[in-house]
Structure formats: C-alpha cells, structure tokens
Structure 1
Amino acid sequence: MSPTMTPSGPATAEQPWPVAAVSEQLAGWIGKLGSVWIEGELTSWNVRGGHAYAKLKDLEADATLSVTVWRSVLSRLGEDFKQGDRVIVCAKPDFWVKGGTLSMQASDVRHVGLGALLEQLERLKRQLASEGLFDFDRKQQLPFLPNCIGLITGKDSDAEKDVRRNAELRWPSVRFRTIHTRVQGVGTVEEVRAAIETLDADPEVDVIIIARGGGDFQHLLPFSDETLVRTAAAAATPIVSAIGHENDRPILDEVADLRASTPTDAAKRVVPDVAEELAGVRDARARIFQWLATRIRHETQQIESLRSRPVLAHPEVIIDREADDLGRYAMRGQELVERMLDRGTDRIVALSTQLRALSPQRTLDRGYALVERVPSDADPASTPASERTLVRTADDAPAGSTLRIRLTNGKIAATSNGAVDDE
C-alpha cells in the first residue's frame, strides 16, 4: 500500500494503518479546520531566518501551543514581541507529516491585556530615562542616622511591621512618622502622592520609605503611574522604594534614590546597626590609641637621639667656641674702624690743604686786595654784593668813584683819583 493512499477499511490488529497514512489522515482533518483567535502568554519568542517561532501558554491551565509566524506575516506586524507578553493570535492549525508535530500558523499577532500594558510601561520607562530621571548622579545620598523616618504603607500591613521591627532592633531610639495609604487598587496613586508631598514638606523627616510586601504585576501598577513617579522624582527628601518585587519591578524602583528588595532590607539600609557602629567606634579608638602610642614612642626616640648629640649634651662647648670667635671678630672690627677713621682724617687734612690753597683768602693773605666799586650815593659798608662791581681795570674806577677794598683782615672805603702812570 502506498503511504500516501487512504486505507480502504478501518484499522485493525490484522490490518493496521501505516504511519504515513495516519499522518496524512490527521493532516487532512486538521487542514479542514479554519483560523481561530487564541489568547495566551508568550513563553518564548525566537526569530530565526526572518521567521518567528513561539510558545503560547494558557493563562491559567497547563497547556502550550507552538506558533509559527512566517516572514511575510512578521514583516507587517507593527509591534515588537518578547517573552512574557500577553497576546492574541489569529492562527490556523497545521500538522507536519514528516515530524508528526502540530503547530499553529499565525496570520496576525497583537498585544492584549497585560501585554499591551507592559508595552505602555516600557514606553514610559524610555521616556523617563531620556529625561534623566533614572540617572545615578541625580540620586540623593541617604543620611547616616535619620532623625525621623517617613513611612508610607498599608495600615496594619506586614510591610509596616517588618520596617519598624527591624529598624528598632538596629537603633532602638529611631522615630517614625507613618502615613497609611492604599497600596493597591483605586485611589492608591492619589493617596501615595499626597503622602509623599506631606512627608517631603516635613522638615523633621530625613528619609521616606514606601513599603509594600510584593504582589502580582497588576497590584503593583499604581507604583508605575507617571504622576506618582514624577512626584517621587521631584521630592527633596531621599526616597527608598521597598515594594518587594523582583521580576516586574515598578518604575518607582528606578526613580527612587534607593531600591530595597524587601521592607526588611529597607530598614537595614536606612538605619545603621547600633551594635555594629559601637564596635566600629571601639575599633577606631583602639587604632587611634595604637597610632598615638607609636607616634609618641617614635618622637621620644627622636628626642633621645637629639639629646645624645654633643651639641645638646654639652652646649657650653659651643658657647665657649663661639665666644672666642665673637671676641676675635670684635677686635678685628675695632681695628678696621680705627683704620678707616685714620684714613678719613688724612683725607680730610689733604682736602683742607687743597681748599685753602685755592681760597681767595689765601690770595689776600699774600698782600693782595679785592677792590669793588659801589654806587656814589651808597654806603660802602652796607651796600649789598648785587650792587657792587668788581674793579679789574683802571677804567672800572674813574676819578671820584666810591670804592670798597677788602684786605686780609678787614675792609676799607676809598675814593678813586682816576688812573695814574706806572713809575
């Protein structure tokens, strides 16, 4: 019987159908089925050779279908898909005879439900990241020991108990200002935003913890709300996000100044352990004392080394030696000063002799006289020098001129009789 031929009768133990015949029958039956819309979650999405090969899992039951998206279909899809997306697929079943496998040939794939929401959140993340709200350099440093911790959490929640218990165990005197809000559902965004603004305006609050004990993705959606996230980013007080969800991290985790994995972790990150700090202080004091002792011992050795030197052990030797040098320098200085004075005296005497030799008085001492003519009506004794005229020739003293004659030891007045002949 040809493997492609349809058997003429029913399959029995005596006349079983060949594998190919069964496969052909299955392919024929399945091929008569039309396209169907299917909703599920993508557990895998692999693109190879331009085609996409995916696994579509039921949202509740343990059931999975293989889905193939050919290149021609994939090229006209306007969305990007990845593992974890919730989608609806328009597909037609197809049975592969050679491999004996059933797969769904997709003609359309769309995000739906959470998948569309995830895509929306991804777009919001990209926008906020482009604005720099996720940048590390804008995150504020937490205080070493907060004066007061602002806590935003659900009333009577395990998250509140974990934060307070662990914080008080580490530092018993820690203070809290707690604002209870909804942490899921309608009204959560507005209440948490208002709590952030209230605590941020309180000057006593040094850090704000927003705590919740995890939850599924839908319950965490308020902590990815754009208005809430921007309020947290604008706060002047450091904010710690302790939502406690690893897989689907809300956007608040990215904007917060510190992300804690759990409320317990938030308490440990915000409040220092008093026992550890006291141990650190003791260790620091011990190291300081050890350093001081070493330094004092070193300086003492240095002083002892200096004191043992001759200059400090017997300082009078230096004084005596310097005193002798000082005496010699003083005698030498006195000798040089006296020599300079003698030379100066000799120089003065020589200059005085030269001055006297050039002085007009010297000429007068040799018998000469200095004759000056004064106005005829003036007193020769009181006439100022500016009005007197030096007589150099006989013509300078015509007859009748009043003269003032300076001799070696005085002055006399005379009247000129005019020029006379030489004898």
Structure 2
Amino acid sequence: MSKVTGTPDEPRSVHWLAMTMKDYIGRLGSVWVEGEVTQWSNSRGNVFGKLRDAEADATVSFNLWSSTASRLTEKFEQGDRVVTLVKPDYWVKGGTLSMVASDMRHVGLGELLARLERLRQQLQQEGLFAAERKRRLPFLPNTIGLITGKDSDAEKDVIRNATLRWPDVRFRVAHAAVQGDRAVPTVLDALATLEADPEVDVIVIARGGGDFQNLLPFSDEAIVRAVAAATTPVVSAIGHEADRPLLDEVADLRASTPTDAAKRIVPDVAEERIRIDQSRVQLRARLTQFVQREIERVESIRSRPSLQRPESLIDAHTDDLARLVQRADELMERTLERSSTSLERLTGSLRALSPQSTLDRGYAVVQTAGGGVVRSASDAAPGDALLVTVANGTLDADVTSVHR
C-alpha cells in the first residue's frame, strides 16, 4: 500500500505539494533526447515547440527561452530531426510541467541515412520491393484516389493534367498532411479510406518535392508496409529525384512528379483517337489485301481446265477404262475356255467310270428286295423278289428257279 502523507484533519498545503513536486522533478536532471520538431512557435524570441518520437507514438512539449535561442548557431523549423538537451521544470505558480531546452542540434544526415538504409535492406529482404509483386495499373481507371495536401500544387497538377488527357476521369481526393508529425497517421487514414472504396482503381500519393527531412514521413515503416499490403495499385508521386523515399521502392509505380503521375495513370484521349484511326487504316488495308488475295485465288481456280471443261476429267480416263474393259473381256473369255475344257475332260472321265456306260452296253444290275446286289446265283432263291436296273429304267422280277 502506498504511503499517505497528511490527514483529513491536518492536510498538506497546495504550496507544499507544488514545492515537493518541484524539488522531486528538479532532481531528475537534464537529458539528451532525439525527435522530430512538430511545432515551432516563436513569441518574442521565446520558442514553444513539440518533439515527436521517430518510432513510437509519443510527444513532449518544450520551451526554448530567448537567452538560449540566441546562442544557437543552427536554424530550426518544423519537420527538423533534432537532439535536444532538456530539463524537466515544474512551474509552481501555474501548476504546469515543462521541458526547458538548454541546447539543440540537428541530427546528423549521415545517421538518418544509415537508419533509412538499414530499414531499406530489411524491407528488401522481406521482398517488399520485388518487381514480381508490383501490380499493373488499369488502362483507364474508373476512379482515381488521390492522397495529397489540401489545396496543394500537387493536387492541382494531378487533377489538371489528368483531366486534360482524359476529360471524363473521376477523382476521389483524401487530404492528408504531407510533412510533420501528422503526416504518417493522416496518410495512413487516407490510404485506408481509399483502399476500402470499391470504385477506386488506383491510388496516387502526391507531394510537390521538398528537402530530405520533409520527405522522411514517406520513408516511415508504417506507410511503407501499408502500401505493400494494399490490394489497390499505388503510385508514388513525391517529386524528388535526389532523395528517393522508401515509398518509391514499394509503390507499384513511381512517378517523378505529380504531373508525370497524371500522364501515366490515364491515357491521352487525343493519342488514343490517333491510334484508333491508325488501327482502322491498317485494318482496312489488311482486309483489302486479304480480299484481293482471295479474289485472285478464286480466279486462279476458275481458270483451271478442270473447271472450265469438267468433262475433260472423264475424257482423260476414258481410254484407260476402255483398255481395262477390253482386258477384262479377254481374261474372262480365256477363263471360261479353260474352265469349259476342264469340265469336258472331267465329264468324260466321270462317264468312263460311271456304271451307266456298262448298262448302256446291255448289262443290268440285279438287287434283292433289301437293296443288296446279287453277284452270285446263290444270293437268290426261288420266290425272291428282285429289282433289275437296266440302261433306261428298272424292272421288278421274281425268281422262279435258280440254275447254278
């Protein structure tokens, strides 16, 4: 349980509490801190400002009295990255806590570049800058989302040049701070708003250039990762060739200036009409050539003898057919002659071997009623019925006697 000083009957005074706090805070001493100047107000030589942490969402106010400000050799303004020697001070009369700055210096450019380079290498290793993950912009976007400063030259340049190229183009503008401590959160909010809009086909983040420190928000890791995660193609149009922010590396398309972005996100209607006219001329010429070639082919086919006199196709084979028919007749006659001769020879042989020739000479074949041939007198007995076959018929006979 925390210690309680005083009682309801004997409370401490406000002055005692204020002096106790002043004494306790005074023992904290001075400390060097680094941050981005997000507010710089000069009033009669005294400066009242704010410092924002570069990596976390934290801000502190500071006072730079005129006596200290007059000794500073460097010029400072909003957006500068600085290191400041501050000492907490509690103002007893007003009951406020302030950070009194006794010295201030710009952060070295080399150190900032080194930090950006480390972040660049980290993001590159993660594949956020890979060319294969970049998406192609639509040929003619339905609606263009534009993130830029309110009433800025960048906004006017993008809208004016895009409208000149394609008068029917539509914009959805989300204003955001493009420098200072509000730049990162407002750009992130604008990006989320346009990303959620189903009619927005491409998003342009535009700013009209600036010095290295003013462009630092566009190298912020949160913005870079949000652009990499966006499903809508993003165009970076920061307009600074010397110091390219990391947004240029992760964007699907980098434009050198806002004007260049307008020229690259929409086609030129005049140029497209010229292309259409040229395509029509080429198509007409190719179609004419094709038809002419087909006409020539038809004429060539029609000029062939077989189409001019179709019966020539038959005439060419008439002689061959006649020779084949004649040859077939000859072969058939020879075959029939050979077959007839062979048939006569076989007929003669058959007749020579046939019993009919024997019968024709006066012989007969005698058979019993059972069909057996009578070869001997003992094969029949008186009273048996016999069948006698002669050359031109048969006779029924009965055996009256047997003579051996």
Query: So what's the TM-score if we normalise by structure 1?
Result: 0.56
1:268 paired with 2:263, answer yes
| Matching residue of 1:255 | 250
- Structure 2 counterpart of 1:365, one-letter code: Q
- Structure 2 counterpart of 1:329, one-letter code: D
In structure 2, the residue corresponding to 1:246 is in which secondary structure? coil
1:288 paired with 2:283, answer yes
| Matching residue of 1:335 | 326
219 and 346 in structure 1: CA distance in 2 versus 1, 3 angstrom threshold: same
Total equivalences in the alignment: 295
What's the offset of the Cα at 1:328?
2.4
What's the offset of the Cα at 1:253?
0.2
| Matching residue of 2:68 | none
- Structure 1 counterpart of 2:169, one-letter code: V
| Matching residue of 1:214 | 209
412 and 148 in structure 1: CA distance in 2 versus 1, 3 angstrom threshold: farther
| Matching residue of 2:336 | 345
Quick one: distance in 1 between partners of 2:391 and 2:193?
A: 117
116 and 334 in structure 1: CA distance in 2 versus 1, 3 angstrom threshold: same
- Checking the alignment, whether the CA contact within 8 Å between 1:134 and 1:254 is kept in structure 2 is yes
| Matching residue of 1:225 | 220
Please give the residue correspondences for 1:124-139 in structure 2 after superposition, counting only pairs within 5 Å: 124-139=119-134
Quick one: distance in 2 between partners of 1:371 and 1:190?
A: 139
Quick one: distance in 2 between partners of 1:59 and 1:298?
A: 85
| Matching residue of 1:315 | 308
In structure 2, the residue corresponding to 1:206 is in which secondary structure? strand
310 and 184 in structure 1: CA distance in 2 versus 1, 3 angstrom threshold: closer
In structure 2, the residue corresponding to 1:172 is in which secondary structure? coil
In structure 1, the residue corresponding to 2:358 is in which secondary structure? coil
176 and 361 in structure 1: CA distance in 2 versus 1, 3 angstrom threshold: farther
Quick one: distance in 2 between partners of 1:151 and 1:286?
A: 38
Quick one: distance in 2 between partners of 1:411 and 1:124?
A: 133
Q: Which one of 172, 179, 188 corresponds to residue 174 of structure 2?
A: 179
231 and 333 in structure 1: CA distance in 2 versus 1, 3 angstrom threshold: same
What's the offset of the Cα at 1:175?
1.2
Query: So what's the TM-score if we normalise by structure 2?
Result: 0.58
Quick one: distance in 2 between partners of 1:213 and 1:336?
A: 101
- Structure 2 counterpart of 1:342, one-letter code: E
1:170 paired with 2:165, answer yes
| Matching residue of 2:111 | 116
- Checking the alignment, whether the CA contact within 8 Å between 1:208 and 1:240 is kept in structure 2 is yes
- Checking the alignment, whether the CA contact within 8 Å between 1:147 and 1:204 is kept in structure 2 is yes
Q: 176-185 or 364-373, which moves further after superposition? A: 364-373
- Structure 1 counterpart of 2:142, one-letter code: N
345 and 116 in structure 1: CA distance in 2 versus 1, 3 angstrom threshold: same
| Matching residue of 2:52 | none
285 and 408 in structure 1: CA distance in 2 versus 1, 3 angstrom threshold: farther
Identify the structure with bigger relative contact order (alpha carbons < 8 Å, sequence gap 6+). Answer: 2
Quick one: distance in 1 between partners of 2:388 and 2:150?
A: 134
Quick one: distance in 2 between partners of 1:222 and 1:371?
A: 140
- Checking the alignment, whether the CA contact within 8 Å between 2:351 and 2:357 is kept in structure 1 is no
- Checking the alignment, whether the CA contact within 8 Å between 1:380 and 1:404 is kept in structure 2 is no
In structure 2, the residue corresponding to 1:115 is in which secondary structure? helix
Quick one: distance in 1 between partners of 2:166 and 2:266?
A: 7
Quick one: distance in 2 between partners of 1:398 and 1:148?
A: 130
- Structure 2 counterpart of 1:285, one-letter code: R
Quick one: distance in 2 between partners of 1:342 and 1:206?
A: 92
- Structure 2 counterpart of 1:275, one-letter code: A
154 and 342 in structure 1: CA distance in 2 versus 1, 3 angstrom threshold: same
What's the offset of the Cα at 1:124?
1.2
- Checking the alignment, whether the CA contact within 8 Å between 1:364 and 1:407 is kept in structure 2 is no
The answer for unaligned runs of 5 or more in structure 2 is 1-71, 76-81, 84-105, 398-403
Quick one: distance in 2 between partners of 1:413 and 1:198?
A: 131
Quick one: distance in 1 between partners of 2:114 and 2:366?
A: 131
1:365 paired with 2:356, answer yes
What's the offset of the Cα at 1:411?
9.2
Quick one: distance in 1 between partners of 2:196 and 2:391?
A: 112
In structure 2, the residue corresponding to 1:366 is in which secondary structure? helix
